[in-house]
Amino acid sequence: MDSRPCLILFGPPGSGKGTQAKLLRQTVGMAHISTGDMLRERIASGDELGQAVKDIMQSGGLVSDELVNRLVEERIAQPDAEKGFILDGYPRTVAQARLLDCLLRTRAIRTVVVHLKVDYNVIIARLSGRRQCPNCGALYSLSPNSPAVSEVCDYDGSRLIVRDDDREEVVVERLKAYDSQTAPVLEFLRQASYPCFDVQGEGRAPQAIAREIQNLMEQELATGGGRA
Domains of the chain: 5-119+182-222 (3.40.50.300)
Of 178, 194, 179, 188, nearest to 114 by C-alpha is: 194
What angle do the packed helices 35-45 and 65-75 form, to 10 degrees? Answer: 80
Of the candidates 4, 40, 54, 92, the residue annotated as catalytic is 92
Of the candidates 70, 83, 159, 163, the residue annotated as catalytic is 163
The C-alpha atoms of residue 60 and residue 128 are separated, in whole angstroms, by 27
The C-alpha atoms of residue 19 and residue 22 are separated, in whole angstroms, by 5
Confidence of residue 186 (pLDDT cuts 50, 70, 90): very high
Please say whether the beta carbons of 227 and 192 come within 8 A. Answer: yes
SS3 153: coil
Of the candidates 42, 110, 174, 227, the residue annotated as catalytic is 174
Maximum alpha-carbon separation in the chain: 56
Q: What is the pLDDT of residues 97-110, one digit of tens each?
A: 999 999 999 988 99
Q: Active site includes 211?
A: no
Q: ω before 144 within 30° of 0 (cis)?
A: yes
Q: Active site includes 4?
A: no
Q: What is the pLDDT of residues 126-172, one digit of tens each?
A: 889 999 999 998 989 877 778 999 999 999 999 999 988 889 998 99
Q: Which residues are within 8 A (CB) of 150 and not within 5 positions of it... i.e. 6 or more apart?
A: none
Q: Among 58-62, 90-94, 147-151, 156-160, where is mean pLDDT lowest? A: 58-62
Please say whether the beta carbons of 107 and 52 come within 8 A. Answer: no
- For residue 162, the model assigns a pLDDT of 92
Of the chain, the percentage scoring pLDDT greater than 90 comes to: 54
Q: Active site includes 117?
A: no
Q: What is the pLDDT of residues 27-50, one digit of tens each?
A: 989 999 988 888 888 888 888 888
Of 179, 47, 199, nearest to 113 by C-alpha is: 199
- For residue 2, the model assigns a pLDDT of 67
Q: Active site includes 17?
A: yes
Q: Active site includes 130?
A: yes
Q: Strand 139-141 vs strand 130-132: parallel, antiparallel, or unpaired?
A: antiparallel
Neighbours of 217 (CB within 10 A): 25
Of the candidates 25, 75, 130, 227, the residue annotated as catalytic is 130
The C-alpha atoms of residue 133 and residue 55 are separated, in whole angstroms, by 30
Q: Give CA separation, 47 vs 42, 43, 58, 81, in Å.
A: 8, 8, 16, 21
Q: Strand 85-88 vs strand 31-34: parallel, antiparallel, or unpaired?
A: parallel
